[in-house]
Amino acid sequence: MENIETIKQFVSSAKYYMIKYHSKEDEEIGKILTNEELQKLNLKESEIHRSIEEKNGDTLFVFDLLPRDENHLCTNPFKLLLQNIEELRTIETIYPKIFLWRFDGVSIQAIAKITSSDMYTNTTLTRYGGTEMFIRILRQHLKTIAKMRKGLTPDYNFLQNNDKIEETVLSTGSINSFNDMYCIYISPTFNFKDILINSKNNINDKIEINVLDLKYWSREINPDFITEAKHIKLENTIPIDETMEIYPPCIKNLMALKKKGNYNRFLLSKFLLSIHKQKDAKFVYDLVMADEELQHIKLGNCSTQWRYITNNFKKYSCPTCNQMYEFCDKRCMLTHPLEEIEKKQKNGTKKC
């Protein structure tokens, strides 16, 4: 399958796709492309990424076997690939033919689709605390499977899993500018030579991405037994002149950062929009930004972030304790950032 056709197939259902810039600021994701622009690019130099969100509201699930706590890239990339192959085969033994596997030039990834096309799926995702929380829970579960292969103790503490969910992913068929290898689909039967040769030559077959069966996964990982999947939605919004004192400690710690950055602004936006009217939420959002960051938000390359979140807020929900773990006060006993606010609202102690 030709390079351009592989990329077009992978990005065709995405909400947007783009050239990824590596020479600019971390917060600048790149230039969003059209089909005509994609045809004219030098694909031996341009790294193409696509959104995990799809046009129809579905989400691309991506689980990367690259360890987050070990520096394998600088020490031994070959050892990393061998380890990834073993982990892939372990997961595939327990969950055969559920995930589509690929090598992104550095590490192996499992991909699948999370659909939002029916009522049962939406209800199940809500029980998990939303699509983002389901992704984190499933990732943690697959990591546990890989740990068991090594004889390590399984880790079912989902609260400790605070991996960020990237909004975009490298396209299959695209070059990885880190090492000039190509992102390719692979089979669980491939050995390291097959993978490296195919990646170097960008050899791909046309393969369909599987849709995850939420009915199956709700039996495998029961959301009712996961405290971190707790999902809260307030009955009424809260006026801003009453609320600063009841913001949870994690939100106060985040707000106190001198520079918050793209992802932390995203978390803060989700919290504020969960408890305030949009106008009030934006007022608080601007209020807690330092002057330089506020200018960047208004005039820089992140000027559309707030509008994007508000336009797509049905997809998002208040960040969970899992996502706010980095800012958590160790004395805090909450299982969800809105837990105390919800209690006060139900008890009628706040006029909302």
65 and 175 Cβ atoms separated by less than 8 Å = no
Who has greater pLDDT, 250 or 321?
250
The domain at 3-220 falls in which architecture? Alpha-Beta Complex (3.90)
26 alpha-carbon distance from chain centroid: 17
Average pLDDT, the chain: 83
Report the C-alpha gap between 209 and 149 in whole angstroms: 26
- Which tens digits make up the pLDDT trace of 238-264? 888 666 788 999 999 999 998 888 788
CA of 239: how far to CAs of 5, 25, 181, 351, in Å?
A: 52, 36, 53, 9
**19-23, 184-188, 220-224, range with greatest mean pLDDT:** 184-188
* pLDDT for res 153: 56
- Which tens digits make up the pLDDT trace of 139-153? 989 988 887 766 655
Among candidate residues 79, 86, 80, the one with its CA nearest the CA of residue 67: 80
Q: What pLDDT band is residue 72 in, cutting at 50, 70 and 90?
A: very low
pLDDT of 352 > 60? The answer is no
* pLDDT for res 26: 47
pLDDT of 156 > 60? The answer is no
Q: Residue ranges of the domains in the chain?
A: 3-220, 232-347
* pLDDT for res 297: 81
The structure's pTM equals 0.67
